[in-house]
Amino acid sequence: MSTGFFWDEQCFWHAGGNYASTLPIGGLVQPLNSTGLPETQEAKRRLKNLMDVTGLSDDLDVRRAPLATREDLLRVHPASYLDEFKRMSDAGGGELGRRTPFAAGGYEIASLSAGLVVAAVDAVVRGDLENAYALSRPPGHHCLPDYPNGFCLLANIAIAIEAAQAKGFAKRVVVLDWDVHHGNGTEAIYYDRPDVLTISLHQEGNYPLDTGGIADRGKGDGSGYNLNVPLIAGTGHTGYLHVMDTIVLPQIAVFKPDLIVVACGYDASAIDPLARMLATADTFRKMTERIKAAAQEHCDGRLVLAHEGGYSEVYVPFCGHATLEALSASDKTAPDPLAETLRVRQPSARFDAFIRGEIDHLASQL
């Protein structure tokens, strides 16, 4: 079996230009010359282009997928939300939530983005693919059932999980979110359920400002099945690997999932404009190696990565390429042009020891 890669050119056509970075334009905020939001098509498109240039694409099972069906969407989102989203989309676009502008056809493009993840999960749980990557855009992990925010219009990963569970292909699922922002949407959807373990690694106090605390562990039947790991700015390469080894992998081993899905954002990278975490392409490579090994140990290798954030048009392609190299075991490489620079810029030994101590303290509270 091989690694699947799900993508569609139309996902790059998602548009919304009401912002200057994360600030609404108007008043004293001058519009930008670019598309406005930091969530643009270029970081994703340049990843696909780099894969084509190196030949990595040739080592993957490259596929497209249909739009997620209304039945798929209704398992997560109420009809009232979907109907209003569709109405606004047909009328030329608008904004339903916070930092979620979209243009004409936005409903269909968001449904296609969700459909890529649905198809990736379906192919893996059916045994058609060993593992898979969905180059989904717009992203999904901030989207609540009835309120979109943070560039996310539909809860892509939750839609895919619910579809797989409805077909009887997965009972227990881990969602590991290593996007630098808290996966508040996924958390909200599964907060009272014991069949989906949600683990979010995120920069403390980044976005959203009012979610992601370590004390938020779920409620009711879901108590203990939501794990937030808020990391201090500057955590860096060894810090992220320490989190994986001391918190993430032990929790997965206890939970014993049928499937692992990663909310795969690259905004923890060292030069991302929306975060300050100092991860490198090799960080994402090694995290992928670890989670792939965990999937092989606990759920017959069933692993899907769904693209989330990451806003450096220069560096996301190298982070994504390293991730896909590890996922597919391809020998097609794209050497990191920033490797030496970012090695020097990693936390000092003293600060790294402090970071590890903070992570160990977090682990003791879980």
By annotation, the residues acting in catalysis are 142
- Counting Cβ atoms within 10 Å, is residue 337 exposed (0-12), middle (13-18) or buried (19+)? exposed
Q: Which residues have CB under 8 Å from 86's CB, separation 6+? A: 107
CA 238/CA 59 separation, integer angstroms: 29
Closest CA to 190 of 222, 217, 167, 168: 222
The C-alpha angle with vertex 268 and arms to 265 and 273, in degrees rounded to 5, equals 100
Amino acid present at 282: D
Amino acid present at 189: I
CA 157/CA 134 separation, integer angstroms: 10
What does the block give as tokens for 66?
Answer: 């249909």
Q: Within a 10 A sphere around the Cβ of 104, how many other Cβ atoms?
A: 15
- The phi-psi region of residue 337 (left if phi > 0; otherwise alpha if psi is between -120 and 50; otherwise beta) is alpha
Handedness of CA 266, 270, 275, 277 (dihedral sign): positive
Give the DSSP per-residue string, 280-324. -HHHHHHHHHHHHHHHHHHSTT-EEEEE-----TTTHHHHHHHHH
CA 324/CA 264 separation, integer angstroms: 11
